[in-house]
């Protein structure tokens, strides 16, 4: 059974499109990234998937149950982190997190201290005195405390410094090892590339691509440099090679196409060295957005 499944999920705000025809199937136990810039529809999609917004049309299910009728038991299996966290300012972090535990019927607070230690959160500080990043840590811990089967997180690393982001990634990997399904949105492409199994790219409220991360990288443009023993007087290029530039006996180029065809072509050349660079997700992402302003 898929952890999350949506079919042509659509949400309008008046005449303005929030999301349109969003169809997703997120498998149990995977880390799924939802990628797009601010305003692309990520938060609207997440809130609609959770039943916090009523869809204009389409449907969505979590663990096989329609989100419009999510029962108490299913909701207990979901950990949710919104993009902006707002709490009772007069409470301390400890009071907030222990209250959350009791809400889920948990009266052993050992995990509060354990996770606070992992995320370096001062439990004695009042919420009003916490920075945005520390409030985000509270939200992350809160989403994890009741050991949900499904984690849904909207821009979870915003406000976290790079070291704490790495801590967060390690925590997510451990959660996946324990069977947790993780769905999170991000505009930080490197984190999606490093940690996700698959990702969806959303553009203007519509899904533009859903791919395995490695497959997505392999399908896209590669940059290469060939170092020849001697610059050839004539060289025929296979389809897919573009933007060739010579620097003495060095040839730089870009290539889109099957790697085996590129290797077959290179094997026929008199070369000293070959350098091939895998594309960064950033360049792939920009390919989907490069026509935005045309």
| Residue 116 pLDDT greater than 90, yes or no | yes
Q: How confident is the model at residue 292 (pLDDT cuts 50, 70, 90)?
A: low
The β-bridge partners of 212 are: 198
Strand 78-81 vs strand 150-154: parallel, antiparallel, or unpaired?
parallel
* Packing angle, helices 162-177 and 132-145, rounded to 10: 10
Paired tokens of 163: 């070291």
Q: What is the residue extent of each domain of the chain?
A: 4-213, 221-278
Closest Cα partner for 69 from 82, 52, 54, 51?
51
Q: What is the pLDDT of residue 77?
A: 93
Q: How confident is the model at residue 203 (pLDDT cuts 50, 70, 90)?
A: confident
Q: How confident is the model at residue 283 (pLDDT cuts 50, 70, 90)?
A: low
Q: What is the pLDDT of residue 71?
A: 66
SS3 8: strand
Query: How many Å separate Cα 44 from the centre of its chain?
Result: 15
| Residue 51 pLDDT greater than 80, yes or no | yes
More confident residue, 261 or 78: 78
The β-bridge partners of 25 are: 5
pLDDT tens for 92-108 read 999 999 999 999 999 99
In 133-162, which positions are buried (b, 16+ CB within 10 angstroms) versus exposed (e)? Answer: ebbbbbbbbbbbbbebbbbbbbbbbebbee
Yes or no: domain 4-213 corresponds to CATH 3.40.190.10: no
Per-residue pLDDT, averaged over 188-196, amounts to 81
Q: How confident is the model at residue 293 (pLDDT cuts 50, 70, 90)?
A: very low
List of E strands, 111-249:
150-154, 181-186, 198-203, 206-212, 222-228, 241-247
Q: Do the beta carbons of residue 151 and residue 144 sit within 8 Å?
A: yes
First to last CA, the chain: 41
């Amino acid at each position: 059974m898929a952890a999350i499944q949506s079919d042509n999920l659509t949400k309008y705000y008046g005449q303005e499109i929030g999301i349109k025809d969003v169809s997703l199937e997120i498998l149990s136990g995977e880390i799924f990234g939802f990628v797009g810039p601010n305003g692309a529809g990520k938060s609207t999609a997440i809130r609609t998937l959770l039943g916090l917004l009523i869809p204009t049309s389409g449907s969505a299910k979590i663990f096989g149950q329609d989100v419009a009728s999510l029962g108490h038991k299913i909701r207990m299996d979901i950990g949710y982190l919104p993009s902006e966290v707002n709490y009772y300012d007069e409470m301390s972090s400890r009071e907030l997190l222990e209250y959350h535990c009791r809400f889920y019927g948990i009266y052993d607070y050992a995990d509060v201290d354990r996770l606070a230690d992992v995320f370096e959160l001062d439990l004695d500080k009042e919420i009003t005195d916490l920075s945005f990043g520390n409030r985000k840590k509270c939200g992350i811990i809160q989403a994890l405390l009741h050991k949900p089967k499904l984690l849904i997180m909207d821009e979870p690393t915003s406000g976290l410094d790079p070291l704490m982001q790495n801590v967060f990634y390690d925590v997510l990997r451990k959660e996946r090892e324990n069977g947790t399904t993780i769905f999170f949105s991000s505009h930080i492409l490197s984190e999606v590339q490093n940690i996700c199994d698959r990702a969806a790219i959303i553009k203007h409220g519509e899904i533009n691509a859903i791919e395995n991360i490695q497959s997505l990288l392999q399908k896209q443009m590669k940059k290469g440099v060939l170092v020849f023993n001697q610059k050839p007087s004539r060289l025929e290029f296979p389809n897919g090679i573009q933007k060739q530039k010579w620097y003495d006996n060095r040839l730089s180029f870009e290539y889109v196409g099957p790697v085996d065809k590129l290797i077959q072509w290179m094997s026929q050349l008199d070369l000293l060295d070959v350098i091939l660079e895998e594309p960064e997700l950033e360049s792939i992402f920009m390919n989907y957005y490069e026509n935005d302003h045309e």
